[in-house]
Amino acid sequence: MSDAPDHYRQAPIDVLICDDNEAMRALLRVIIELEPSLRFAGEAADGHDAIREATRLQPDVILLDLAMPRRTGLEVLPELRVAAPDARIIVFSGFSTATAGDAAIDLGAVRYLTKGASPEALTRAIEEVAAEPSSSALLTDTRTR
């Protein structure tokens, strides 16, 4: 019998990065690739690409920026819920207002982190939301600011 807590998964957590900033996507990819429990699934630079890639990849977790071209993160959040119904969406944004976090949670995100969060806080958030059962992930308001 393993000593590992029940919430640890055997397979890596597939993460889709959705951010219009190329440097931020590269940084997030490095953070994900350095964590053995995570796996980079793909990336999207705008809202349209986010929906397309979520549909194609069916990731476990989607990191979603709010300020993206063509369609914002808030505009695509409801469609992402349909495109990848089992994915947990973490909004990872430069907006630090409570209003942005509340709007994201109301539209289906399971967590809201500001871009000032440490790499450790980000990887921990990804692991935590991936471990949540589907029904509680949709109903639990777990903002981190």
Identify whether 3 is part of a domain: no
For residue 112, the tally of other CB atoms under 10 A from its CB is 27
Alpha-carbon span 100 to 123, nearest angstrom: 21
Identify whether 18 is part of a domain: yes
Identify whether 144 is part of a domain: no
Task: Choose among 133, 122, 111: nearest CA to 35.
Answer: 122
* Residue 126 reports pLDDT greater than 60: yes
Strand partners, 40: 15
Identify whether 128 is part of a domain: yes
Write out pLDDT tens, residues 45-70. 999 999 999 999 999 999 999 988 88
Tally of domains within the chain:
1
Block residue for tokens 């495109």: 83
Terminal-to-terminal C-alpha distance of the chain: 37
Write out pLDDT tens, residues 65-122. 998 888 888 899 999 999 999 999 999 988 777 788 888 899 999 999 988 889 999 9
* Residue 41 reports pLDDT greater than 50: yes
Identify whether 145 is part of a domain: no
Return the pLDDT at 99.
Answer: 81
The CATH number of residue 33's host domain is 3.40.50.2300
